[in-house]
Structure 1
Amino acid sequence: MTANDLFAAARSMSPAMLHRLETLVSCESAPGSLPHLSACADLLAGWGEEVLGRPARRVVVDGVPHLLWPAARQRVLLLGHYDTVWPAGTVRARPFTVIDDIATGPGVCDMKAGIVQMFAALSLLADTSHIGVLLTGDEESGSVTSRGLIEREAGRSGAVLVCEPSTAEGHVKVARKGGSVYRLTVRGRAAHAGAEPHRGVNATVEVAHQVLTLLALGAANGGDTSVTPTVLSGGTTTNTVPEQASVAVDVRAWTGAELERVDQAIRGLVPRLPEAALWVDGGINRHPMVAELAQPLLDATREVARSIGVSPPEGAHAAGASDGNFTAALGVPTLDGLGAVGGGSHARDEYVDLRRMPERTALLAGLVDRLTAISPAFR
């Protein structure tokens, strides 16, 4: 199929892709909700078998289902996730909606449209025997059960293409910040908040001190590093000095050295209140994805874009992390952001530009076709 034919074929699939996108967004895949994840995996397993001509291996780890279509001599791995950040029931309040070629709904951009485009692109290829596909069910909760599977499949691949969303301009992602996740837990001493507050050690106050210290850790690097307190909990009743409190912390940085600096600082935190005790759990989760590793794949992507008559995408640096961080850390050439063009991931205004779905589908198909024609020693 010529480049022009590829793009034309992708355009003809627009109605089918729209229907599938509505179906997939309506099939909720809430983080950690095993019944919802299993139902969504069932749907995707059928779509994948249809285009790849082979059934998925359903890899279940701690109850979380992941879908794998391995190839015997795997030159390219297409990687994505089907879980979202949205709790079950969100789709009833914010159903899939299309207004002026803009689609909205929970998970539409991150990354259900990317999955629809991935399967559409595979259907345009004459030979999928050297292409592996992996769709995981826990990326949004840290890839705890899928990381080993991701790294194993990446290690036997010549290149990894991640179908997470592009930037709002359509740029692909050549670099990503690394990330760490922590939980700080404080143990104080309970007391009556009205009669004898002085006898207590207020764990919530101690956590407040630590939150301000954490914010300063990010500011120390000029703002390039983010140290963000997120989920906060503490106390039992309104008339009791809190005996225990905790805060979750999200860290993002461009270099491994910076992640290590923050890690050491967090592990070195000391309580401010006398008699308070502090524990730190967690650590570095994903190392940064560096641009140099992605450059050959970006060059190939731009060549394919020219051949199908669309503007070559630029390579963007993204502050958020993805499973591409894991594959790049292994030294496997990795290019991210090959999914839908849209924005608002993890926000209520999450959207996808439907007009660009055929273009992105053709681009992915052309890139995969080019890479599978190259020697397995691409990297």
Structure 2
Amino acid sequence: MLADLAELVCCESFSADHAAVARSAEVVGALGTRLLGAGPETIVIDGVTHLRWTFGTPRVLLIGHHDTVWPMGSIESHPWSVTDGIARGPGVLDMKAGLVQMYHALASLPSLDGVGVLVNGDEEVGSATSRQLIEESVRGCAAALVLEPSADDEGALKIARKGTSRYEVVVHGRAAHAGLEPQKGINAAVEAAHQVLSIAGLGAEMAVDSTDSVLGSATVTPTLLSAGSAGNTVPALARVSVDVRVPTLVAQDRVDALIRGLTPRAPGARLEVLGGRRRPPMEPGSSAGLFALASRLTAELGEEPLRGIAVGGASDGNYTAAAGCPTLDGLGAVGSGAHADTEYVKAARMVPRARLLAQLIMRTQHRPDRDRRDSV
């Protein structure tokens, strides 16, 4: 497993570099072909390369991604290594070790009938080209098992995720000479400052209204801010980026209405709201049955009891859950530091995690529709 992991990590796959993602797909596809005995369907959408395996009529979908957040050349500053049982390298945790565990788990099964596998190439940038593919692939399945890394370095699974929305509030003002006649301008930067405070206030408003005890309240956070074109000119244009995380679809709809309801303060200024909803929330009910099953299987395997954690970050599990398919996330590698210089995987946990995954697949790959929600 470590040899396979080294091969995947050393083949860099920065999401923004489609050629690198295509090369990675070849390596990931070859690994899957060797271990599964069948080659993938290679699907290229808008230049992004995705891989899919279908065995019979899938009842369980295994889903992962092979792109990473690490820019090309990161392997030089963060080389592949395994020291004292700790594996390091760009993307080792998120989520190349999860892919290795997935393929080895599948290779251990007596039959792959009823299994689908989807490995996309753009999860780290929102799965824009693969969302439809995900929703198509999970249709008719009784379970979706997501190979994202565990929620912490002790191996907790992800039983709920917030949904995400992204907005850009564009402020249109009017340029003027800042020294000669500033009064003739409409200062988009000043207007943007008012909007930043208003947007931050929406987050506080949603926090007060929240009654969700698992995922917490919605968060509305102004992030990137830009304005102006020259140091001696009243800014005619400003932009404010907004990151939104929500526990429920109701909260996602409410935040959307509040963002679109922002109004300018300065006479003559105009607001334009771009963007909107991205991933829907993965609410706790979608994982309850599968988490109970995983807990029973963990006990049967003689492992420490599982814990489940709700997290703010989103994954493709948000899409499978929103499609109505029971979904369990965080079944990949155990480690910490995803997206950070400290990223690592506990090598000793790879085999136990693969064993648990294999058992979950066997219990779900032939599950009928009537068991889909309440008795997983």
Report the Cα distance in structure 1 between the residues aligned to 2:102 and 2:25, rounded to whole angstroms.
15
Task: Report if the CA contact (8 A) 2:148-2:330 is conserved.
Answer: yes
Match of 1:229 in 2: 222
Of 164, 169, 177, the residue aligned with 2:162 is 177
2:312 aligned partner, one-letter code? A
1:353 aligned partner, one-letter code? K
Of 217, 229, 251, the residue aligned with 2:202 is 217
More divergent stretch after superposition (194-203 vs 239-248): 194-203
Q: Kindly tell me: are residues 241 and 26 of structure 1, through their superposed partners in 2, closer, same or farther at Cα, counting changes over 3 Å?
A: farther
3-state SS of the aligned residue for 2:118?
strand
RMSD: 1.9
Q: Write out aligned runs for 1:176-255 (5 A).
A: 176-222=161-207, 224-255=217-248
Report the Cα distance in structure 2 between the residues aligned to 1:234 and 1:108, rounded to whole angstroms.
38
- Which runs of no fewer than 5 residues in structure 2 stay unpaired? 208-215
Report the Cα distance in structure 2 between the residues aligned to 1:21 and 1:204, rounded to whole angstroms.
48
Q: CA deviation at 1:194?
A: 4.2
3-state SS of the aligned residue for 1:305?
helix
Of 42, 45, 56, the residue aligned with 2:29 is 45
Q: CA deviation at 1:349?
A: 2.2
The alignment-based identity, stated in percent, is 50
Match of 1:22 in 2: 6
Match of 2:211 in 1: none
Q: Write out aligned runs for 1:35-184 (5 A).
A: 35-168=19-152, 169-184=154-169
More divergent stretch after superposition (235-244 vs 67-76): 235-244
Report the Cα distance in structure 1 between the residues aligned to 2:124 and 2:54, rounded to whole angstroms.
23
Q: Write out aligned runs for 1:338-349 (5 A).
A: 338-349=331-342
Q: Kindly tell me: are residues 174 and 197 of structure 1, through their superposed partners in 2, closer, same or farther at Cα, counting changes over 3 Å?
A: same
Q: CA deviation at 1:52?
A: 2.0
1:311 aligned partner, one-letter code? E
More divergent stretch after superposition (271-280 vs 89-98): 89-98
Of 259, 267, 270, the residue aligned with 2:263 is 270
Task: Report if the CA contact (8 A) 2:299-2:305 is conserved.
Answer: yes
2:25 aligned partner, one-letter code? A
Report the Cα distance in structure 2 between the residues aligned to 1:186 and 1:96, rounded to whole angstroms.
45
Match of 2:212 in 1: none
3-state SS of the aligned residue for 2:206?
coil
Task: Report if the CA contact (8 A) 2:13-2:24 is conserved.
Answer: yes
Task: Report if the CA contact (8 A) 2:29-2:39 is conserved.
Answer: yes
More divergent stretch after superposition (311-320 vs 220-229): 220-229
Task: Report if the CA contact (8 A) 1:104-1:350 is conserved.
Answer: yes
Q: CA deviation at 1:267?
A: 0.1
Task: Report if the CA contact (8 A) 2:168-2:275 is conserved.
Answer: yes
3-state SS of the aligned residue for 2:287?
helix
Q: Kindly tell me: are residues 72 and 234 of structure 1, through their superposed partners in 2, closer, same or farther at Cα, counting changes over 3 Å?
A: farther
Q: Kindly tell me: are residues 87 and 191 of structure 1, through their superposed partners in 2, closer, same or farther at Cα, counting changes over 3 Å?
A: farther
Task: Report if the CA contact (8 A) 2:113-2:365 is conserved.
Answer: no
- Which runs of no fewer than 5 residues in structure 1 stay unpaired? 1-16
3-state SS of the aligned residue for 2:55?
coil
Q: CA deviation at 1:203?
A: 2.2
Q: Kindly tell me: are residues 42 and 358 of structure 1, through their superposed partners in 2, closer, same or farther at Cα, counting changes over 3 Å?
A: same
Q: CA deviation at 1:373?
A: 4.9
Aligned residues: 363
Q: Deviations over 1:217-251 (max 9, x none)?
A: 11223372111223333333333333222122111
More divergent stretch after superposition (219-228 vs 310-319): 219-228
TM-score by length of 1: 0.90
Q: CA deviation at 1:286?
A: 1.9
Task: Report if the CA contact (8 A) 2:114-2:366 is conserved.
Answer: no
Q: CA deviation at 1:195?
A: 4.2
3-state SS of the aligned residue for 1:272?
coil
Report the Cα distance in structure 2 between the residues aligned to 1:247 and 1:373, rounded to whole angstroms.
49
2:282 aligned partner, one-letter code? M
Report the Cα distance in structure 2 between the residues aligned to 1:134 and 1:170, rounded to whole angstroms.
23
3-state SS of the aligned residue for 2:349?
helix
3-state SS of the aligned residue for 2:365?
helix
